[in-house]
Structure 1
Amino acid sequence: MEYTKLGSTGLDVSRICLGCMSYGTPDRGSHPWTLEEDAARPLIRAAVEAGVTFFDTANVYSDGTSEEIVGRALGEYAPREEIVLATKVHGRMRPGPNGGGLSRKAVLTEIDASLRRLGTDYVDLYIVHRWDPHTPVEETMEALHDVVRSGKARYIGASSMYAWQFSKAQYTAERHGWTKFVSMQNHYNLLHREEEREMLPLCADQGVGVTPWSPLARGRLTRDWDAGSARQDTDEFGGTLYLEEDRVIVEAVASIAARRGLSRAQIALAWLLGKPGVTAPVVGVGKEAHLRDAVAALDVRLTEEELKELESPYRPHAVVGFS
């Protein structure tokens, strides 16, 4: 395992972050393909044993049961001080007013609920899952600052939004002397590179760590284009992210993997890990082989010719994944 600083902070994180959306009760929430606790625990343990110290979940994943599973497993398999634990706020957790979003009431309610489910008194990184257009940014940033000042979070981060929104939030925090975001968890992979236009240069300039979600494009980069999966067949959100024209990139990944004698996942992750500014991809692991591929990708170096083969077929996409 390799370790690096999260942006310009002093916080060390593993270069592979275990994404824990794959773990949860299938009939809770909107992810029927998730793994129950008995199946999830060995994978979390294997990640700890492989040197992964960075774990990412969210309150909304499987209606809070992802946090419960992750909290119990990490409490057993690793000392709390060695783990960098991230969770998120924004998604709707209950019907009716104030059941979601980034109001002061929602933020302060949801951090306490997440801590109860995780079985810890603080998270290392508290992430706003999306932008909330219905709440003044001053209200959100002050509430997040209070979460940090109370000791319930060590740092705060953000996820998919426009660069102007992220800049506005950072400017608001700096203007008032509040805590600023130290990380951006964005949608970035070989099939969706629109973040290279504004968000990635902004993060590089401001010393913000980048932890891309869906680094393997919901698994599309790991199998033939026409091959399905239980997740792909039931993932309504994922079905909006990629286009038929992306097939040629998937084929390029397969071709390079075959020539190198490596898995397609290793090639796709090696490309992402090699991008300047990328701290740690958030990798979902449903089998131990997925974890082995992610760790092995740290040692893969792509040639200039291979990079051209992977990148040249890309065509501009509409920005997706912000909602």
Structure 2
Amino acid sequence: MNYKLLGRSGLKVSELCLGTMGFGTEAGWGADKKTSFEIMDAFANAGGNFLDTANIYKLGTSEKIIGEYVQNHDRDYFVLATKYSLKDNITNPNASGNNRKNMMRSVEESLRRLKTDFIDVLYLHIWDDITPIDEVLRAMDDLIRQGKVNYAAISDTPAWVVAKGNTLAELMGWSQFIALQVEYSLIQRTPERELIPMAKHYGMTVTPWAPLGGGVLSGKYLRGEQGRVKPESNRLNEHNVNITKTVVAIADELGVSASHVALQWAMSQGFSSIPIIGATKVSQLEDNLKTIDVTLSDAHLQKLDEVSKINLGFPGEFFREDAVKMNSFGGFYDKVEKRK
């Protein structure tokens, strides 16, 4: 495993992140503690150090399992990322949302479950469209100054909110968001409209969740295998099936699995990207780890780009119009290219 810097920081994390939403057997699915330990062993033995969880995953069981595991291993080796925002207490009206009260309470409970004195990366889990972004960043900065959190990050939030937050943090001397977690894959490229350009501008690392489209891009549904994606899911529409067929064809050509191709595509888009790979079986993780040995050619990337491309809308499509037409505006784009 190679290591990458997480955003505009000196924090070194593995090029793949282990997603632990499936640690625990609540809701009738997931990995028990023994299997979860084996998965983390396999990840660490491969050089992986970046673990992703949340206060709400398996009603806190995911954090508890990680806490028990890390307690008996080198805590400083691991980079633990967790999240706050989603409701975890039905009797407390402030046990959800992005507000400072919920953040402070959630962090204290996460620290207890994780059996650690500090969280390496704290994500705002999902934007509530209520709390002022300055309240979020000031509270995160306070936690960082207290030593309870090392770095701030954000997930599932509009680009304009993140941009406003990081600009305000820079002005005020607060800690900025260094990572952005969003759904991103060959069948979900809409973050390319606003979120990913914003992340590139601020030097943020993107940590895609569902980089395999809920398993669709693994090709298992083409083979008739069952999974957690329901047959009526929009992830199984005709367009996505065509994308998956192209992924499978390239995988067959390279002699690798379709998952390797889909994950490597997500790592090869010209910006800092660390996919989150979930696993409830050791075999799943071991297979996905082989991704780091796969190389996609320019021709492969072009095929995948063509079959999965989206309409960027305005102004994205306007900027992408052909050069001849744009040159009618006085050669503006020629001048921009020369400056670049």
Contact 1:25–1:35 (Cα < 8 Å) also in 2: yes
Q: Deviations over 1:81-122 (max 9, x none)?
A: 111110001111111411111111100000000000000010
Give the Å deviation of 1:33.
2.0
Which residue, out of 160, 165, 168, partners 1:169? 165
Provide the identity percentage. Answer: 35
Work out whether 1:306 is the aligned partner of 2:303: no
Aligned to 1:81: 76
SS in 1 for 2:271: coil
Contact 2:133–2:165 (Cα < 8 Å) also in 1: yes
Tell me which moved more, 168-177 or 17-26: 168-177
* Within-5 A mapping of 1:107-146: 107-146=103-142
Which residue, out of 40, 56, 61, partners 2:57? 61
Gap regions ≥5 residues in structure 1:
none
Give the Å deviation of 1:241.
5.4
Work out whether 1:216 is the aligned partner of 2:216: no
Structure number with the bigger relative contact order (C-alpha 8 A, sep ≥ 6) is 1
One-letter code of the match for 2:2?
E
Aligned to 1:232: 229
Tell me which moved more, 223-232 or 61-70: 223-232
Runs of 4+ in 1 over 6 A off after TM superposition: none
Contact 1:121–1:152 (Cα < 8 Å) also in 2: yes
Aligned to 2:284: 290
One-letter code of the match for 1:195?
P
Aligned to 2:189: 193
1:74–1:244 distance in 2 versus 1, CA, 3 Å: farther
Give the Å deviation of 1:318.
10
One-letter code of the match for 1:292?
E
SS in 2 for 1:190: coil
Aligned to 2:101: 105
Contact 1:6–1:279 (Cα < 8 Å) also in 2: no
Q: Say what the alpha-carbon RMSD is for the aligned residues.
A: 2.0
Tell me which moved more, 175-184 or 287-296: 287-296
Contact 2:18–2:43 (Cα < 8 Å) also in 1: yes
One-letter code of the match for 1:4?
K
Q: Deviations over 1:168-209 (max 9, x none)?
A: 221232233221101111111111111122222221221111
Contact 1:125–1:154 (Cα < 8 Å) also in 2: yes
Work out whether 1:24 is the aligned partner of 2:18: no
Work out whether 1:316 is the aligned partner of 2:310: yes
1:172–1:242 distance in 2 versus 1, CA, 3 Å: farther
Give the Å deviation of 1:299.
2.0
Q: Deviations over 1:212-239 (max 9, x none)?
A: 11111111111244535342249x9xx4
TM-score normalised per structure 2:
0.86
One-letter code of the match for 1:229?
Q
* Distance in structure 2 (CA, Å) of the matches to 1:164 and 1:184: 13
Aligned to 1:42: 38
* Distance in structure 2 (CA, Å) of the matches to 1:106 and 1:190: 35
Contact 1:181–1:208 (Cα < 8 Å) also in 2: yes
* Distance in structure 2 (CA, Å) of the matches to 1:179 and 1:69: 29
Contact 2:183–2:210 (Cα < 8 Å) also in 1: yes
TM-score normalised per structure 1:
0.90
Contact 1:85–1:125 (Cα < 8 Å) also in 2: yes
Contact 1:33–1:230 (Cα < 8 Å) also in 2: no
Tell me which moved more, 278-287 or 78-87: 278-287
SS in 2 for 1:298: helix
Work out whether 1:244 is the aligned partner of 2:224: no
Give the Å deviation of 1:317.
7.6
1:222–1:231 distance in 2 versus 1, CA, 3 Å: same
* Distance in structure 2 (CA, Å) of the matches to 1:98 and 1:57: 21
Gap regions ≥5 residues in structure 2:
314-340
